[in-house]
Amino acid sequence: MRGLVHVHLRAFRPVKTAIVVGGGAGGAAAAEALQGHFAVTVLEEGRAFRPYRTSLALPERCKRLGALVDARMIRAIFPAMRVRKAAGGMMLVTGHGTGGTTTLATGNGLRLDAGLKRLGLDLDQEFDELRRLVPITTGHRASWCEPSRRAFAACEAMGLGPEPLPKMGHHERCEACGHCVLGCPHGVKWDARQPLARARAAGAVVREGWRVERLVTAGGAAKGLVARRGLRRRFFPADAIVVAAGGLGTPGVLQRSGIPTEPRLFVDPVLCVAARWPGARQDLELSMPFFVRQDGFLLAPYFDYLSYFFDRRWTPPAGDIFSIMIKLADSGTGAVAGRHVTLRETAADRERIERGIARCVEIFARLGVPARALFLGTLNAGHPGGTLPLTAGDAASVHPPVLPENVWVADASLFPEPLGGPPILTIMALARRVARRVAAAV
């Protein structure tokens, strides 16, 4: 009888509540792993994501008329993409809405946890789990454009060891529409709406349009948080809070809550080197089909919509441009203060960019395009992080000591160093580890 009462009481024990801030890579992975241990609510500032399905003829016409003058105007064309200009001039690209920046990602899935491993953080278990949850393929050569095939062969001949990029999704059935970074309209590319949907199916609630302003803390713990939707402001109580608002959003939430972050920020700057190539049709290719690893940067074919729409050197038609991206890990000398972001290119960053440009010039020369025919794109950056870096001391707990006892961070803010490559899988592995610790601790 006593046993029965015990079981009965356990069954009706109130379920603890967890709030996850942000519905991107980290937030979705944490929500999926937490739901069941907690009743999870995800608060996402943006709206439900919708891929860009309409023709690009209208923005092209606006460009021809000279109406597209600033990359920050991209949200008028594609509301899920946000560009902000950092002090120092660099354009920062992030996603806004369910799925976060993953909906705009090119789908590359690489494990890049060497820096975390050096701290003693072994994420093998979480990467194994992700292998079962995220389909990855390199079987997408059928949708490469002709110049990319030739560039691959040229890189092989130059001994650069080009590798097809592993893509998250089912890219073997890619429809070659070229819209990867505008949201795959064919459901081929994986994005973080998938783990979010699984969390929802298991009972999690995803509330869109809620911007988290600050956490409410007392006695070293959070009681909940204050979020705003339009003119409505509301207090959400919570037993545990996981902040995963992205490398730029998370430091803002923490700072507004009186929790200090480090005066540093790293990003991965991107610069494209392009040429006119009649009939290239790279605009219809899946983004970044292969890559070449170099000392301090990587190269990959990439049609850069930001440059195409907003850089006067990139003239229509889109189908007659072929471009190669240089991507590098910067020196991490940036900072986030609320909404204000500072990023300054250092001499070391410039030196790597110059080496990248020189390598692109060599590749284009092999393809018969002389250096004088090349033009650059707009310097922009993604992959922000590093404002609350884990140390060897807190790698096991994944809980930096400045955080209240029931507040956690689950995004690239925790990375000790820039990755210089695609961070989604590593963010999700880390977020799943954070979720594990939250479930054990609360």
**Residue 191 near ligand FAD by CB under 6 A:** no
**Residue 246 near ligand FAD by CB under 6 A:** yes
Options 32, 44, 285, 349; binder of ligand FAD; rule CB under 6 A:
44
DSSP string, 2-14: HHHHHHHHHHTSP
Q: Buried (b) or exposed (e) across 403-435, using 16+ Cβ within 10 A?
A: bbebbbbbbbbbbbbbbbbbbbbbbbbbbbbbb
Rounded CA separation 30/285 (Å): 32
Choices 1-9, 39-47, 134-142, 337-345 (CB under 6 A): range interacting with ligand FAD: 39-47
Q: Per DSSP, what are the bridge partners of residue 268?
A: 382
C-beta closer to ligand FAD: residue 382 or 389? 382
Please answer whether residues 132 and 122 qualify as being in contact, where contact means their C-beta atoms are separated by less than 8 angstroms. no
Rounded CA separation 295/245 (Å): 31
C-beta closer to ligand FAD: residue 140 or 369? 140
Residue type, 434: V
**Residue 249 near ligand FAD by CB under 6 A:** yes
C-beta closer to ligand FAD: residue 246 or 356? 246
**Residue 119 near ligand FAD by CB under 6 A:** no
Closest approach of ligand FAD to the CB of residue 412, in Å: 5
Strand 380-385, strand 266-276: pairing: antiparallel
C-beta closer to ligand FAD: residue 134 or 154? 134
**Residue 108 near ligand FAD by CB under 6 A:** yes
Choices 116-124, 361-369, 390-398, 422-430 (CB under 6 A): range interacting with ligand FAD: 422-430
**Residue 102 near ligand FAD by CB under 6 A:** yes
**Residue 183 near ligand FAD by CB under 6 A:** no
Options 18, 19, 20, 26; binder of ligand FAD; rule CB under 6 A:
26
Please answer whether residues 30 and 198 qualify as being in contact, where contact means their C-beta atoms are separated by less than 8 angstroms. no
Please answer whether residues 375 and 324 qualify as being in contact, where contact means their C-beta atoms are separated by less than 8 angstroms. no
Q: Where are the alpha helices (DSSP H) in 311-367?
A: 347-366
Q: What is the dihedral sign for C-alpha 98, 237, 200, 171? A: positive
Q: Encoding tokens for residue 87?
A: 């002090």
Binding site for ligand FAD (CB under 6 A): 21-27, 43-46, 93-97, 100-102, 104-108, 181, 211-212, 244-247, 249, 253, 382-383, 411-412, 422-424, 427
